A and B are shown apart, each in its own frame.
Chain A
Amino acid sequence: MNLMCILYSVVPTYQPAQKSQNKVRLSQVKVFDNNFKRRNMAEEYKSLHPIKYYRDCLAHDIRPDGRAFDKFRPVLLNIGSIDTTDGSAIAKVGKTTIVCGIKAELCKPKADTPNQGFVVPNLELPPLCSPKFRPGPPSDQAQVLTQLIADIIENSKCVDPKDLCIYPDKLAWCLFIDFVCLNYDGSLIDACIIALVGALHTLTLPSVDYDPSLDNKLVNLEDRKPIPIHSTLISTTFVIFDDKIILADPTVDEENYCTGIVTIVLKGDELCCVHKPGGSPITEDDLFDCIDKSKLRSPLIQNLIKTALKQK
């Protein structure tokens, strides 16, 4: 039922030049040997002088994984992956993998917003996804990213809390949106937002018969309806390397060695988040260049989400 859709691939393949047949054996062994040595040296260099390694790579206008500076990694989306949730999706951006599940629970609205439900996102970064994280209470980064996702949902109004109200001041839905990172390889927010949009589109809520006089509620689990999704969000992350080079869709190493990060979230033609939390200062031109690049990427991701929904 669930089909995977791969949008586009930017992984370059290295094709050795064809050699004439009679020379094959010796030269192939040599080529292999040289490549092996070269790769080993590159790895040693990378682990000894990581920043210099990146600098040398970028000086030749290429990134260590073979991408150009403004190229994105392939994106993969699988929706409705978990049956036990009310809506779910798995998104991959390069090797970064995010599982998103939405669980709806009934609750009482807050007294000052009697006609609104709740949306509660939570991002979990378990030690499984990266050696940076230890078991125990959520790390600072997980808390900051959780809050950023909560802000993005609230700012974009992709889910209107008013749609989640069943009976004013008495009963409303609370959507617990849980993200679990399985593999952390950079651009976490991008993957989270793609998974979020996928999961929201598969979300169905059971109908509830509520009798306010008796405070009696009856949930019909068979009769499920989707909720209105007001906009599709697309997030794009850039990093600033050495105060001047801007790399799109960074891997985790690029994120670690960079001096600044910019996240842009688009909602259709509008912007709903331009988040640059400190780091090296950039000029206005560079910032708007990033916005333009994310605008170019947005229709591709939207197509991906549409295709995934159709195939479901």
Chain B
Amino acid sequence: MEKPQLSCKLGILSRPDGSAMFCEGETTVIAGIYGPVEVKMQKVINDKASVECSYRPKSGLPGIEDRLYESLIRNICETSLMASLYPRSAILITLQEMHDSGQLISCAINAACLACLQSGIDMKFMFGAVTCFLTKEEVISLMPPISKSDVKALFVFVFDNAAGRIIASHTEGSFSEEQYKEALNLGREESKNVFIFFKKTLVGINSC
């Protein structure tokens, strides 16, 4: 099955503690992470670090639709990071959309994971995201259809690398339970490739 080409560059920014540019097909996102840093008084949590995420679209100001992505990525990072090791501090994750050809959410999540890995912050497990598309002809694929109007439904799955369990699921459009199951299995298989890619990136095989 055809699948989007993954590519990545770690540490492209000098100021953040960890940064990564991640491409999934043509979709590209830059992620930067600061942490643990000083936390705002209102957001202090006594027994763990507060994780914050801000997402910036390609043009214009972040709108209300970006809040949903922010909260999704924040929740995923909060689960995966060992936040209890850094009490009374903050971990800030910033994402900048560069180009979107359909897999924006999964690309942003993968970029966030690589930035976390590069920053050296403690994590419980890695997380990898995969986008599956259901076309109008009821075919499930990993490649985005050429025209956006051909997409009947879109699934984003986030898995952990430890047990392959589902951390997050985000769907758009309507679909049957069987289609969901099929997309989930396809996503799980593909997530293994994503984790292999992450590991290769970290040991420097994929560096461009």
Contacts and interface: CB of A to CB of B under 8 A. Distances in A.
A271 B163 CA distance: 26
A147 B184 CA distance: 24
Interface in A131-149: 140, 143-144, 146-148
**Which residue among B67, B76, B160, B172 has the maximum number of chain A CB atoms within 10 Å of its CB?**
B67
A278 B72 contact: yes
Interface in B68-100: 68, 71-79
Given A267-B174, A269-B176, A287-B166, A281 B160 contact: yes
A14 interface: no
Nearest to A147: B68
Interface in A244-273: 259-260, 262, 267, 269-273
Nearest to B175: A271
Contacts of B74: 278
Contact of A270 (B76, B166, B167, B174): B174
**Dominant SS among interface residues on chain A:** mixed
B173 A287 contact: no
B177 interface: yes
B65 A147 contact: yes
Of the four ranges (under 10, 10 to 19, 20 to 34, 35 or more), the interface on chain B belongs to: 20 to 34
Interface stretch (A3-11, A150-158, A169-177, A187-195): A150-158
B64 interface: yes
A50 to B, nearest CB: 14
A280 to B, nearest CB: 6
A212 B193 CA distance: 57
A281 B79 contact: yes
Contact of B165 (A157, A278, A283): A283
Contacts of A273: 171
B184 A143 contact: no
A144 B174 contact: no
A275 B172 CA distance: 10
Given A271-B180, A277-B168, A156 B68 contact: no
Given A155-B172, A278-B79, A291 B167 contact: no
18 contacts: A143-B64, A144-B67, A147-B68, A259-B79, A270-B176, A271-B175, A272-B173, A274-B169, A275-B169, A275-B171, A278-B72, A278-B76, A278-B168, A281-B160, A283-B163, A284-B165, A284-B184, A288-B181
Given A277-B71, A277-B72, A281-B165, 18 more contacts: A140-B71, A148-B68, A151-B68, A151-B172, A155-B171, A155-B174, A262-B169, A271-B171, A272-B173, A272-B174, A274-B169, A275-B170, A277-B75, A277-B168, A278-B167, A281-B159, A281-B160, A281-B163
